[in-house]
Chains A and B, each alone.
Chain A
Amino acid sequence: MAFITDHILSWVAFAPALGAVLVLLAGRSPGAARRLALGAALADFVLSLHLLRHFAVGNGADQFVEHAPWLAGGKIAYSLGLDGVSLWLVLLTTFLGPLVILSTWRAITERVREAMAFLLLLQTAMIGTFLARDMLLFYVFWEAMLIPMYFLIGIWGGERRVYAAVKFFLFTMVGSVFMLVAILWCYQQAGSMALADFLQLELSRGQQSWLFLAFALAFAIKVPLFPFHTWLPDAHVEAPTAGSVILAGILLKMGTYGLLRFAIPLFPLAALSLGPWLAWLAVIGVVYGALVAMVQQDVKKLVAYSSVSHLGFVVLGLFSLTVTGAAGGVVQMLAHGLSTGALFLLVGMVYERRHTRLISEFGGLAHAMPRYAAVFLFVTLASIGLPGLCGFTGEFLILFGTFGSRLLPHARLLTALAATGVVLGAIYMLWMYQRVFLGKLGERNRDLPDLSPREWAVLLPILIMIVVLGVHPAPLLERLEPSLERILAPVAAVRPTESTYGLAVREPADQTAAAIAALKGDR
């Protein structure tokens, strides 16, 4: 077993890719391909549990580190690491992986072998992105992620799938090419591609601003932050259910993860001066996404816009630049992954039965499918942040952290505005629920079958995790916080003199420790 445990991160990252090769070679019949893919995804989940079991609590540094020279005489390395933030996002990925594959059983009937292979390859790329501790390696995984998703949307998607797939690809690439130049520039300065060496760079405020913008653009498009969100509704609506679940559940988190892991700690001066602008965009996104979601006719599109709103919360939490706010951001990423993933699965299930997602086509569905309606209600409540379910923990921590942030100007105003998003979220979700599930049952919906055992198997794990995250988030937070303190340390080391949107000059503080202490007092 040492053979596996010594390189556990590589195994977790590449087990799905091995599965994909296996599927391509041996998945002659659709059934075989599905079973092989499910097996690979389950195996990956089991492997990732090893990470959870052996993760040293209280240690904020990277664990299970793997390092091997790759290019340029080792200046560019195959370097993987796992800290508290990566741990949970990797677990989210491996947890959703098998469920996504299980959800395709009836939804994807054509070219099953290829679909399974792409799903597994996507999982490898996503896990690699969360684990990479070398900038080029990160970039490779980040870009490689595009290819399988592009095919998933483009081949198995809805009517306007080609448009959506190309839009998705090009939008993401617009951001990432500038990030590539920024990475190249830093590489020249640092002499190595290691994230640790990038963190040591001493850059002027002007340099940081440009680099921060290049990085933030890539991540903001991926999040997506208002006004870069326009690809998202198209991609979501056209993608097959499995694609939507991965897109909402994990892919969008790449953006927020990137902001947290790279943009903020690498360029702390710029994060302090330009971060408030992003926080404003995030709050605009929270309100805008909620308002647009409210008027949607299509359930899937409604859920897609609700993602814009929820991810806005995450970005706000991150740019509060407090550990509490950032922890809330990460928890919200996980909660959103679970609840929105479940919502897309549920929407997909009813679409398989009725081949429509228009709200007006439904009504009174609770009579025909009572169990389905109950599960939907449960997930809806989780999504709008009912205390005791996962959505609450994240939102609460974000609002709490932002409200007390001393590094974010107008923090209280921003918090108040974002809080209206919570209310709006409750309105559009419950209103949608009312129109779809309550009222009079239409003729055509009378004979819809309720949840099948397979569908229960897909949903039940998510429902359990939704409760666990809401009731007992302590294990999550205690693994998260030391890492977040480490990540935010460069920001804490900067002493703010004035705080008005980058107009004032900020000087690096001499007393790093004092600043960190001040930040901790903030919590």
Chain B
Amino acid sequence: MNGPAHATTLGSDLAQLAPYLVLAVGGLVVMLADAFTGGRRKDHLSLLTLLVLLCVAVAQGAVHADPRGASLMGGMLAADRFSRFFNLLVVTIAMLTTVFATSMFERDGRYRTDFYPLVLFAALGMMLLAAATDLLSLFLAIETMSLAVYALVAGNRGSLRSSEAGFKYLILGAFASAFLLMGLALLYGQAGATDYASIRRAIEAAPAGGLLLPLACGLVLIALGFKVAMVPFHMWTPDVYDGAPAYVTGLMATGVKAAAFAALLRVVWLLPPVAEVWFPLLTVLAVLTMTYGNLVALSQNGMKRMLAYSSIAHAGYLLLGVLAVLNTSRDSATAVQAAAVRDAAGGAILFYLVVYALMNLGAFGVVACLSRSRNEEADAIDGYAGLSRRRPFVAATLAVFMFSLAGIPPTAGFVGKFYVFDAVVKAGLLPLAIWGVINSLLSAYYYLRVIVVMYMKPAEGQVHDGHSWEAAFTCGVLALLVLLLGVVPGSFYALAAHTFRQMTF
């Protein structure tokens, strides 16, 4: 790993910052555009939002990642492949969210125009979070992202449950932020610096022992664990996922989770010296996260709640990957071997995050697609009965997403799990891999249930029959990608592993 290269000029800094600047300015432009255009038709805002996101992607594509791993603004942000990878992922997630949201607004006939700038600011927060290599930028990024998401969760103003969810998320999120701040303060107190590289150096130089450092790291872990819905900091997840509009839930389950895991992966580099304390505890939490999520998901009758618990379980699988990364740093035969396994594990996490984003957004996209309106969301699983006859195409895409979430080949979900468990086995954590596959066995049951209802039950009573061409088409593309990554994942995984290898801190 390269140390930070402080000697960057302002010009190249600005160039590297272009994606963030474009997004921030774009968000403001969309907000103003909303204010200055009257009338009831507001669908141009969605196009403008998509255009902004496209510009961000283009800007990101135009900026070459510095192979030396340049850090921006004096070590606040990293402009490495890792940031670039997550920036593109976040932009994709935001675009898909915009499409699903707009399709819902169209059915309502009422545009929630505050959605568009908020989703852009949330994306900005996520991108910054994935790039943050300094305690201060970490905090700012988390808050930027969270504030926007709080508002988005409560975005369905007519619905009490939505408001309740927003409020709950705000309160608990504030707690998490307090933990984070405390942890940051302690870390700063120990290290005397705020950028990760200096902190790592200070930690390594410091004599072993002492509780303050593990405590500080633990507090940061709690805050990030809150964002990724790690047990026991998951309490908010079901209610918030359930209460938020489906398209926002999709954004939270994929974007927020991905960004938080990116931050976690960067922070994990601070941990090895204190891993003796944190590794066993994190192991227990990962196991609990998987098991709890899957067990409770078994008995859910609402699609969004089921997916909420499933997202907790998936956080558990991802944590297994993090443990594999950590374990190789802890004890290993040879440094080269350890590095290889670490890259495999890191690549597996990145790959899984992308796959998870595709299949989970797809599932929430189907929910959005089938909802009649924002207040009549396609939530009850029983309402999916007979879907394979009413909407064979949409049903087929949802079946692909469910098989993928359950990890059945030939879908990307299987390949993702394969890479993660493979890394876990290679890192010498065989029992965790066994527990992981037992969990994916458990999860198969509730994912299959959705398919049973869609394909094997006749439609009766209240069924979901909303429709949106854009949403259905987007889901189709996502399903195709899930299948494609399930059959030929090789080059994409190589990219993910390469990205992880070049991560700077």
The interface of chain B, by Cβ under 8 A from chain A, is 403, 408-410, 414, 418, 421-422, 425-426, 430, 433-434, 437-438, 440-441, 444-445, 448, 452, 455-457, 489-490, 493
Contact = CB atoms under 8 A, between A and B. Distances in A.
Contacts of B403: 147
A140 B409 contact: yes
A221 to B, nearest CB: 12
Interface residues on chain A, size class: 20 to 34
A56 interface: no
Contacts of B434: 178, 181
Contact of B452 (A70, A162, A188): A162
A146 B408 contact: yes
B456 A154 contact: yes
Contact of B455 (A72, A136, A155): A155
A448 interface: no
A180 B425 contact: no
Nearest to A186: B425
A184 B422 contact: yes
Nearest to A184: B425
Interface string A164-196: 011001100110011011001101100000000
The 3 A-B pairs with the shortest beta carbon distances in the complex, nearest first, are A177-B437, A140-B409, A154-B456
A170 B422 contact: no
Given A144-B410, A181-B433, A184-B433, A166 B490 contact: no
B409 A177 contact: no
Contact of B456 (A71, A146, A155): A155
Given A143-B409, A166-B452, A136 B444 contact: no
A180 B448 contact: no
A170 B441 contact: yes
Contacts of B441: 170, 173-174, 177
Nearest to A70: B490
A336 interface: no
B440 A177 contact: yes
A261 interface: no
A181 B456 CA distance: 32
B445 A185 contact: no
29 contacts: A139-B409, A143-B408, A143-B414, A146-B408, A147-B403, A155-B456, A161-B456, A162-B452, A165-B452, A165-B456, A169-B444, A173-B441, A173-B444, A177-B437, A177-B440, A177-B441, A178-B437, A180-B437, A181-B421, A181-B430, A181-B433, A181-B434, A181-B437, A184-B418, A184-B421, A184-B425, A185-B425, A185-B430, A188-B422
Contacts of A162: 452, 456-457
Given A151-B455, A166-B445, A181-B434, 11 more contacts: A144-B410, A146-B408, A154-B452, A155-B456, A162-B456, A169-B448, A177-B438, A178-B434, A180-B421, A184-B433, A188-B422
Given A71-B493, A181-B433, A185-B430, A154 B455 contact: yes
Tell me the interface secondary structure of chain B in the complex.
helix
Contacts of A187: 422, 425
Nearest to B400: A147
Contact of B409 (A144, A154, A185): A144
Contacts of B452: 154, 162, 165-166
Contacts of B425: 181, 184-185, 187-188
A166 B441 CA distance: 12
Interface of A: 70-72, 136, 139-140, 143-144, 146-147, 150-151, 154-155, 161-162, 165-166, 169-170, 173-174, 177-178, 180-181, 184-185, 187-188
Most buried by B among A139, A144, A166, A177: A177
A14 B440 CA distance: 29
Contacts of A139: 409
A71 B490 CA distance: 5
Contacts of A174: 441
B408 A147 contact: yes
Contacts of A166: 445, 448, 452
Contacts of A150: 448
Nearest to A72: B490
A188 B403 CA distance: 27
Contacts of A147: 403, 408
Contacts of A177: 437-438, 440-441
A372 to B, nearest CB: 32
B322 to A, nearest CB: 18
A8 B261 CA distance: 45
Contact of A140 (B414, B438, B445, B448): B414
B432 to A, nearest CB: 10
B398 to A, nearest CB: 14
Contact of A144 (B408, B426, B437, B445): B408
Contacts of A173: 441, 444
A96 B339 CA distance: 51
A143 B444 CA distance: 13
B487 to A, nearest CB: 9
Contacts of B421: 180-181, 184
B411 to A, nearest CB: 9
B199 to A, nearest CB: 34
A174 B490 CA distance: 27
Most buried by B among A144, A174, A178: A144
A208 to B, nearest CB: 16
Nearest to A143: B409
Most buried by A among B409, B421, B438, B452: B409
A390 B441 CA distance: 39
Contacts of B456: 154-155, 161-162, 165
Nearest to B422: A184
Contact of B426 (A70, A155, A170, A188): A188
A67 B490 CA distance: 16
B355 to A, nearest CB: 14
A173 B403 CA distance: 13
Contacts of A181: 421, 425, 430, 433-434, 437
A209 to B, nearest CB: 15
Given A143-B408, A184-B425, A136 B437 contact: no
B455 to A, nearest CB: 6
B389 to A, nearest CB: 8
Contacts of B414: 140, 143
Nearest to A151: B455
Contacts of A143: 408-409, 414
Most buried by A among B408, B414, B421, B438: B408
A242 B206 CA distance: 71
Contacts of B438: 177
A16 to B, nearest CB: 15
A218 to B, nearest CB: 12
Nearest to A136: B418
A180 B437 CA distance: 8
Contacts of B410: 140, 144
A431 to B, nearest CB: 36
